Structure formats: structure tokens, C-alpha cells
A and B are shown apart, each in its own frame.
Chain A
Amino acid sequence: MHVPTMANLMAEGKSPDILFWVGCSGSFDDRAKKITKALVKILNHCKVNFAVLGSEESCTGDPAKRAGNEFTFQVQAHMNIQVLNSYQVKKIVTACPHCFNTLKNEYPELGGNYIVVHHTQLIQDLILSGRLALEGNETFKGKKITFHDPCYLGRANDVYEAPRSLIEKLDAELVEMKRCKANGLCCGAGGAQMFKEAEKGKKEINLERTDDALETKASIIATGCPFCNTMMTDGIKHAEKESEIKVWDIAELIANAADL
């Protein structure tokens, strides 16, 4: 798989148009790595001049900040900004809404100013500009797909339309859950919950959300966040519905439809 790194490009005297910020989940989590690869396939297919940081990338600090440790967050931010600025990065794409939010909203005040887009926004652009064609694909034709809004993409940053427009491009039937868009229910992973057991309660949040998805009778739950993906996948497993409904990232659906 062709994955240029910033350091290599720099050594060749080249600079990419856009940095792909992979994120910790996209780098290390087995399920999320598949999303990373799907996105790279799309980028390569569309001849996007991109690069990754590889071993020079470090956690954005999002989970530390939401857990209340501003020190760890700012140390991470400071180090990442030094790396990003030394490569004169202008534009960043990421498949993780948490990285997206942190890089886009919280880094500027600390000296990191970049144009940051979520991968669904980038893919939408690639389609609109004619660099990615999905016409004639039948893979998802007529399939019922529901979209789970990641909190840090939707409510946190008001991005509701880009992922949905991609589902429509698949010629699939988009079915909304009863709680969607600004009223969407969290998958339960945000605010550093991903890394701890939930407090005592009646039910796990991801199961509550899985019920919303099952109610739509969709055959696919589309997500745009590696953490939501984990939560929903676990929820479906718990409900023993793995044969009826699958969880895919939008990038995977697009790569699949484009036969990549």
C-alpha cells in the first residue's frame, strides 16, 4: 500500500497538498485500521497528493482534555504543533471526529492554524469535483442504511450533511433513527468514556443506541468515527444481530462501492 510519509517527501524536496492525520485509533485499533486503509485507497485512487506523519504523529490530547487533564493535553498539542508547523502543514484530513474537533477548534489558540476537514467532507469534495466516480455502482443499491451521528462531528461541529450526501451517492436508502442529527444519541464513547467502565446504571449507552439503529430495520449502520464504530459493533454483537446488520465507516462503504 502506497503511504508516503512527511519525512520521506521532505527528503525528496516535495510537500503534499494535504496531511492525513491517522489518529491513535486509526493507527493501532484493528477495526479502525481497516477504515484507515479504506481512506488511503480512496486517496490513492483519486491521486490525492497526501502524506502521513507516521511515527512522528502523537495523540492530539483529546481524551486527556475531556478527562480533565489539561496539562497532558497541552503538552501533546504543543509537541504536535511543533511537528506540523515544521512541515508547514496547511490542510489536514482525518477520519476521527475527535482529532478533527481538537485540531480544528482547540489547536489554533495554541499556535496551530490549519484547514481541517473530516474524511466525509473530503470524499464529498472528491465526488463533486469529478475525481471520484460512483456512477453505475450497484453494491448498495436500494439497501437500507442508517447513519449514526458522531457527537464530535454533528452537535460539536455542525457537520450533518456531508456523510448523508455520501450515503445518497451510494444509491442506497437513507433511513434516519428516531434520534438523529442535532438530537442524535451519543454512542457512549466520548468524553474519555471509551477508556473506562461506565458508572452504575440500568443499561449501557451503546445498547440504547443500538436499539435505535435496530428499530430502523436498516441492514447497515454507517458511522464516521472509529469509536462510534467500536461501540455500535459491540452493541450489535450483544444483541446477537450480526447477521442482520453490519457496521461500516462511510469510507469503507465508498471504497467498496468504487471497487477499490
Chain B
Amino acid sequence: MLEIFIFCILLVTGFGWFAFNVYKVCHNIRLGRDEMRSNQTSKRWRTMILVAFGQKKMFSKPLVALLHLSLYVAFVITQIELIEIIADGITGEHRIFQASLGNFYVFIISFIELLSLLAFVGTIAFLARRNMLKLPRFTMDELKGWPMKDANLILIMEIVLILCIFTMNGADEAMQSESYGFLISSFLGASVFQGMDYNTLHVLENIGWWGHFIMVLTFMNYLPYSKHFHIFLAFPNTYFSNLEKKGKFKNMKSVTTEVKLMLDPSGDSQDGVEVETPPKRFGAKDVVDLTWKNLLDAYTCTECGRCTSSCPANITGKKLSPRKIMMDTRDRLVEIGELKRKHGKDYDDGKSLLGNYISEEEIWACTSCNACVQECPVNIDPLSIIIDLRRYLVMEESKMPNELAGMLTNIDNNGAPWQFSPSDRLNWANEN
């Protein structure tokens, strides 16, 4: 009875706390500006199924992709076992589904065990890669400290979870007079757990069972603080992907209105143009000036660094790293979101994404080449954040490298980025 009570308390607290954190994340994401991303539903579903479910973009590195896929499939499938754990925990039964499912039950548990073994291998490989191989994208400055610990912690939790599953099933097997026939633990039961007395086995099985349950709750509640949140967010994030050509940058409607007014003050050509009241500011200085999709991107980022290792600016030693752009956006959002919940939605702490987190030097190094967008396995778009930060600097503060100011003046004055007169445009036709 006491066990059932403790179980239910843990269950409710675990899910309750998770729900509270998810609420906070949703609240933060909604601090962003509007952006239409709900048209073309069938194309969106297709993108989600290919990129999130099928992990299509991971397969440019097939071995890593397979390990990652096995980890992910194992994670999803083991949650079937969680259903039984919850049912057992609430009712106080033992393997409540076994009797009614019969052989099918043995098949499912065996399948889970097989995947768990694969996941175990995968996890060890990933831990080794991250800590021993010294890949540049895992050792850069922005990963020092918490992000590196975060990555390792997740992998260690995964290992503990898998060990719990095998301890639980293996000890249980050893206690049975006739084996369940589980693929891997029937073997473990007959070897590792062989010869232990019944009480020890019972305790071990309990440790495995409770351990599994507690690990899952811990894991789940850890996600909203971690880069590992992508296991959920990859789905909505790819669903709401940008479906336009990557080269197309948004036309700012607020600017369209002003330009039309400036060029035709009579308003003749206003028909059909949506008039939009000017926004609080042009471009983005802080996270709340970005769109909700930029913010969802930030929570979805797995910090894998594929974007950064394909970034021409970063490859050639510039300060810009598209991964850092995403990590900064998330860190700032968590900070300001918390403050706004505490002090009201208009609260301003005097800090901002541009300046306190991202420097001007970083954003001016971008060539807008879209390599980061192309590489990201979960369709994140760091470039649109960079451009919005530039827009703020240029349009609100007139701050930009001198040469760019000159280039813009030339376009304004003579319709070309260099100082040439429009009347000379056709000179080439008469030159040799």
C-alpha cells in the first residue's frame, strides 16, 4: 500500500512539474512576433516525417545516423514498458500485461531489450566520441562548461536507464522457475544473476524497477533545461519549417507601407497593399523582437554544431558561430521570460540579445550563404536571426561597418553599390 502511495506521489509530481516547465517554454515562445507558418499542411507533414521522424538530414553521416537512430527508436519503444510500469505501480500488480498478452508480450519485451542493447552501444560510442575524439565542433568555446556537462549527463542518464532495464528483467528472470524467454535477460538471468539468493534478486529487481521509473521522470523533467529537448521539439520545429526557397528573405511589411507612402504620397498605389502599423522597432535587438519560430528554433537546437562546422566565417576563424547564435537566443529567452513572469510583461532588465549576448562583430561576419540552414538536422534557421539583428543595427541605430554605409549611400544616390552614374550603364556595349 505504502509503495503504491509513494509511486502515485512521484508520478503526479513528475508529470506536474514537467507540465509546469512546458507551460513556461510555451509562454516564452509566445513572446516572439507573429509569423505565418500554418499553410500547405500536407507539405509540412511530409517535411516533418522525413526530417524529424526519418532523420533524413542525419544520413549525410551514415554511421552516426544509424547509432543516433537506434538510440532514438530505443528511447521511444522502451516507453511501452513504461506503460506497464505505471499500470503495475498504481495497481500493485507484477507484469500486469504478461498473462493476457502471452507470447506477444515476450516478443515486445525482447524487442525492447534488443533496441536497448543497440542504444547501449550507441551511447558508449557517443560518449567516447565526445570526450576522446576531440572533434572541433565539440570542443569550441561556446560548449565549455554547462553545455558539455549537459551533453554528457544525458548520455550517462541513458546508460543508467538501460542498466536498470536489464537489472530488472535479468533478476526477474533468475527468480522464475521457468524463464519468460526474454531475448537478452533470459541469458543474463542464467549467467550474471545465477546463484544469487531469492531475496537479493528481489531487491535487485526492485532497484531496477524503481530505478527505471525514477530515471524516466528525472529525464523528462531535465529535458526543458537541456539541449535534449529536441527529442520532442524536432517534430513541431520541422513541421513549421520555412517552405520557401532559402534565398528568399522576408519583405518587411511595415517598410513596404512607409516606402509606398514616401514614393506616392497621393496613395494611388496603396490599393491591395496591407497597411501595417509600424512595429515597436525595425529588426531585432532582443529576443522578443524575433518571431516565435526563431524562438522555437532556439529551444530545438541540439547544440550539435553541424551548422558551425559548415559556416565559412567560422571555418576561417571569425567569431561568428551559428550554433552560438541559437544558444545565446535560448539563454536570453529563458532569462527574460522568467523576469517577465515575475515582474509583468513590460518588464525591461536593460539587457538585450544584441550587445549582452551577441556582438556586432559576429553578425557582420555572415555571408548569408545558408550553409548553416542547409546543415541543420532539425531545420533551424540561424541566418534569419542574424539578418534581423543587422536590420536593427542599420535601421534603428545606423551602425554598420563604414564601407557598408558607403555602399548604401551609393545605391541611394546613383542606383549602384559603387559610384557610377546610371547613364554609364550601357558603356560596356561599346567597349572592346
Q: Which of A154-206 contact B (CB under 8 A)?
A: 155-158, 182-183, 185-186, 188-205
Query: How far apart are the CA atoms of A131 and B429 in the complex, in Å?
Result: 23
Q: Which of A55-63, A121-129, A243-251 is the interface stretch?
A: A55-63
Given A27-B425, A156-B245, the answer on whether A106 and B251 have CB atoms closer than 8 Å is yes
Interface centre among B60, B256, B263, B368 (most CB of A within 10 A): B368
Residues of A within 8 A of B251 (CB): 70, 74, 106, 109-110
Q: Which of B257-272 contact A (CB under 8 A)?
A: 258-260, 262-263
Tell me the smallest distance from the CB of B254 to a CB of chain A, in Å.
9
Q: Which of A106-133 contact B (CB under 8 A)?
A: 106, 109-110
Query: How far apart are the CA atoms of A240 and B356 in the complex, in Å?
Result: 43
Tell me the smallest distance from the CB of A198 to a CB of chain B, in Å.
7
Chain B: CB-nearest residue to A185: B312
Number of A-B contacts (CB under 8 A): 216
A interface, size bucket: 35 or more
When the two chains form their complex, are residues A69 and B408 in contact, meaning their CB atoms are under 8 A apart?
yes
Tell me the smallest distance from the CB of A83 to a CB of chain B, in Å.
11
Tell me the smallest distance from the CB of A46 to a CB of chain B, in Å.
18
The reply on A65 being an interface residue by CB < 8 A is yes
Query: How far apart are the CA atoms of A37 and B428 in the complex, in Å?
Result: 8
Given A67-B400, A199-B313, A202-B317, the answer on whether A61 and B411 have CB atoms closer than 8 Å is yes
The reply on A3 being an interface residue by CB < 8 A is yes
Query: How far apart are the CA atoms of A26 and B418 in the complex, in Å?
Result: 12
When the two chains form their complex, are residues A192 and B310 in contact, meaning their CB atoms are under 8 A apart?
no
Chain A: CB-nearest residue to B363: A68
* Proximity string of chain A (13-46) to chain B, C-beta cutoff 8 Å, 1 when within and 0 when not: 0000000001010111000010011001000000
Query: How far apart are the CA atoms of A66 and B318 in the complex, in Å?
Result: 19
Tell me the smallest distance from the CB of B425 to a CB of chain A, in Å.
5
Residues of A within 8 A of B391 (CB): 68-70
The reply on A75 being an interface residue by CB < 8 A is yes
When the two chains form their complex, are residues B312 and A188 in contact, meaning their CB atoms are under 8 A apart?
yes
Residues of B within 8 A of A197 (CB): 401, 403
Query: How far apart are the CA atoms of A55 and B426 in the complex, in Å?
Result: 7
When the two chains form their complex, are residues B417 and A24 in contact, meaning their CB atoms are under 8 A apart?
yes
Contact of B407 among A67, A70, A191 (CB under 8 A): A67
Tell me the smallest distance from the CB of A147 to a CB of chain B, in Å.
16
Residues of A within 8 A of B366 (CB): 191
* Proximity string of chain A (199-224) to chain B, C-beta cutoff 8 Å, 1 when within and 0 when not: 11111110111000000000000000
Residues of A within 8 A of B367 (CB): 151, 186, 188-191, 193, 205
B residues neighboring A (CB under 8 Å): 60, 244-249, 251-252, 255-256, 258-260, 262-263, 282-283, 310, 312-313, 315-320, 361, 364-371, 373-374, 387, 390-395, 400-401, 403-404, 406-408, 411-412, 415-418, 420, 422-431
- A-B contacts, 5 listed (Cβ < 8 Å): A54-B426, A101-B245, A155-B247, A185-B312, A186-B369
A residues neighboring B (CB under 8 Å): 1, 3, 5, 22, 24, 26-28, 33, 36-37, 40, 52-59, 61, 63-72, 74-76, 78-79, 101, 105-106, 109-110, 151-152, 155-158, 182-183, 185-186, 188-205, 207-209
Q: Given contact pairs A67-B394, A198-B365, enumerate 8 new A-B contacts (beta carbons under 8 Å).
A: A33-B428, A70-B251, A75-B262, A155-B247, A155-B374, A156-B248, A188-B312, A190-B368
